[in-house]
Structure 1
């Protein structure tokens, strides 16, 4: 994913968790205008996020998420997350 706003991402993840059997969400997020990476961690419907460090020299700020669950519909989840980049 490209850089995304924190609140929009957390809202999208909450929708995804409510519609799919997602147990955990983990990842690093590039937030527009922020020089630090945002850590996102979710268990069930509870999410935590915080900035941990600056993006390292030579490191491309990108959003990378891992969703752990049961029989996840990758296409539907990807479509939901892709809408964040279109905003």
Structure 2
């Protein structure tokens, strides 16, 4: 497909250097590089970075105190639901 693009001078210079090293047309090189960049961009957008958030947890009861453990287990907000 044929189209016209305005390319910055430094970008065109880099494209021509790649062309000298690898051969091929400027169009084919530019198309390949653009396709690679677009592929990376879409993969990055499709899978956001995973973030793990944690906070320090401590016992809310002295586990050595048997009566305190039973008391907290018997509370309604900690009772097992049927």
Same fold (TM over 0.5): no
Higher relative contact order (CA 8 A, sep 6+): 1
Point out the structure with max Rg over C-alpha. 2
The TM-score with structure 2 as length reference comes to 0.29
Report which of the two has the higher share of helix.
Answer: 2
